[in-house]
Amino acid sequence: GNSVTQMEGPVTLSEEAFLTINCTYTATGYPSLFWYVQYPGEGLQLLLKATKADDKGSNKGFEATYRKETTSFHLEKGSVQVSDSAVYFCALSASGAGSYQLTFGKGTKLSVIP
């Protein structure tokens, strides 16, 4: 079946530090890949997505590249801010039948300190 494995947290960084959160996946075919973010007290929000190999998703300074050869979709940001403190979830939706269903990783909690 489909699965997503992401770096366990929590991760604590100082403001302006470089962020990487690793995500690898197992899926048949050509899944779409997503990063969702959950800020304290809020619902899940789509951060970025990529729908085919070598696509780069980007938003709010975050980037992730769909690497089919390594089945990875690592999240990066060059300079984090305190406001980036949140839980980050990597997710996939399979191609074909059942493509509406998202499979999530366990989440990585990021805390950014001033």
Partner 1 sequence: GAGVSQSPRYKVAKRGQDVALRCDPISGHVSLFWYQQALGQGPEFLTYFQNEAQLDKSGLPSDRFFAERPEGSVSTLKIQRTQQEDSAVYLCASSLDRGTGGNTIYFGEGSWLTVV
Q: Which residues of the shown chain bind partner 1 in the complex (CB under 8 A)?
A: 4, 31-32, 36, 41-46, 49, 51, 89, 91, 93-95, 98-107
Do strands 75-77 and 3-6 pair parallel, antiparallel, or not at all (unpaired)? unpaired
Smallest separation (angstroms) from partner 1 to the CB of 15: 26
Toward partner 1, which CB reaches closer, 17 or 85? 85
- Closest to partner 1 by CB, 17 vs 22, is 22
State in Å, rounded, how far the first CA of the chain is from the last one. Answer: 41
Please state the closest distance from residue 78 (CB atom) to partner 1, in A: 25
Report the amino acid identity of residue 26: T
Nearer to partner 1 by Cβ, of 8 and 15: the residue is 8
Question: Closer to partner 1 at the Cβ: 16 or 56?
Answer: 56
Smallest distance from the beta carbon of 20 to partner 1, in angstroms? 19
Minimum Å gap between C-beta 35 and partner 1 is 12
